[in-house]
Homo-oligomer: A and B are copies of this chain.
Amino acid sequence: MTTYTPAFPELDPPPRLLCGPGPTNPDPRVLAAMRRAMLGHLDPAMHGILLEILEMLRQVWRAPEDALVLALSSTGTSAMEAGIVNLLAPGETMIVAQCGFFGARIAEIARRHGVDVVEVAADPGEAVPNARLLEAVDEHPEASMLAVVHAETSTGVEHPLRQLGTELGGRDVLLMADCVTSLGGVELDFEAFGIDYAYSCTQKCMGAPPGMAPVALSARAQERIARRTHAVPFSLDFELLRQYWVERPSRYHHTAPILHIYALHEALRQVQIEGLDARWRRHTAAGSYLQQGIRALGLELLAEPWHQLAPLTAVCVPDGVDRASVQRQLLDEFGIEVGGGLGPGAPNIWRLGLMGPNATERTADTLLGAFDTALNRAAATVVV
């Protein structure tokens, strides 16, 4: 018989204002929805809830009627991988716009899957110019897909995705867009931008906890899947997931995370109530306000101003200031989380996020005040 250690105490996590790259603090109404009575995933009442989610997902993606929308019962990373493995066979070619951690991750996952990757890179803080992507498409007529990160969470860069879609015109290449940090917070129109596969998550501008990944597939992407002959991991198979979401209740695929389904429903409902355009404007206003405040503190932003993302602001750490100690002070003294650079070789930055319910000038003021204090102390320490 195993001897048990005394039970650990109940969790008592400290309150945090989550102003990093995500997760953000969930909308309290989303958390309230998670307290509702739990249904089974095959309950007839669940069917209606899922249909409402599909209708609202279509709206938040601005996806046409012939697009397939659904949400994976996993993370944004899984949704990135799902797009690659469903839409590309090993040996096919994919062009990847790479100017940060998440573009690099797309390339890495594609290579794992045996895809030939053509990387078109730019420095952190820049977006890969659309002209270079179009050149790559024209130079690689064999390429099946072009992938861009709409909102590069590692650098705060917004890719000019509307223009890319327009410039791609009728080219026979699928467009995949990582919208993890844009859905619900940054202007995004799946149909008008000509996107074929887009994926996001719930814990950023959607204002729900992490746990699900909304996706959208164009008619063209679905046709590609229908013609597919290569095997796809079962848990990421969009045809099976389509059956589970759309043809239910007869098709069992997995047990959906019920309370996250409730959370997603309420998060989408809050977008309906606020209005998607108004929500974008709120994120833009809060982000611009924060960025002005940061510059007023004498700090520089990493992203080119014309590609600055609203929900995520990357701030360059001044010479002589210890990045981590500023983060620690913010966390320990003010209960505020901000991020650092992501991954090995990352630029020396802080990453400040104003997403979902935190996308307000009030939150920006709180963050700026604490940031200023922590920074002054860190600078004072350096002088001493």
Contacts and interface: CB of A to CB of B under 8 A. Distances in A.
Contact of A256 (B20, B37, B210, B232): B210
B11 A36 contact: yes
A108 B234 contact: yes
Contact of A11 (B20, B260, B262): B262
Interface residues of A, number: 88
Contacts of A235: 74-75, 77-78, 81, 236
A360 to B, nearest CB: 18
A16 interface: yes
A201 B77 contact: no
Interface string A204-240: 0000011100000000000000000001111110000
A164 to B, nearest CB: 21
A234 B77 contact: yes
Contacts of A14: 37, 39, 45
Nearest to A74: B74
A259 interface: yes
A221 B40 CA distance: 34
A62 interface: yes
Contacts of A331: 43-44
Contacts of A298: none
Contacts of A339: 42
A231 B11 contact: no
A163 to B, nearest CB: 20
Given A234-B108, A254-B78, A272-B4, A40 B56 contact: no
Interface of A is mostly: loop
Contact of A257 (B22, B56, B210): B210
A59 interface: yes
A337 B31 CA distance: 25
Interface stretch (A109-117, A141-149, A308-316): A109-117
Contact of A77 (B15, B78, B114, B254): B254
Interface in A172-225: 201, 203, 209-211
28 contacts: A2-B59, A2-B276, A7-B269, A8-B55, A11-B262, A13-B37, A13-B46, A14-B45, A16-B37, A20-B42, A23-B38, A23-B40, A23-B41, A26-B38, A34-B259, A73-B74, A74-B74, A75-B254, A76-B254, A76-B255, A81-B234, A109-B234, A112-B232, A201-B255, A210-B256, A210-B257, A257-B257, A257-B260
Interface of A: 1-2, 4-5, 7-8, 10-16, 18, 20, 22-23, 25-26, 31, 33-46, 49, 52, 55-56, 59, 62, 73-78, 81, 85, 105, 108-109, 112-114, 201, 203, 209-211, 231-236, 252-260, 262, 265-266, 269, 272-273, 275-277, 331, 337, 339, 342-343
Q: A-B pairs with the 4 shortest C-beta distances?
A: A211-B257, A74-B74, A7-B272, A75-B254
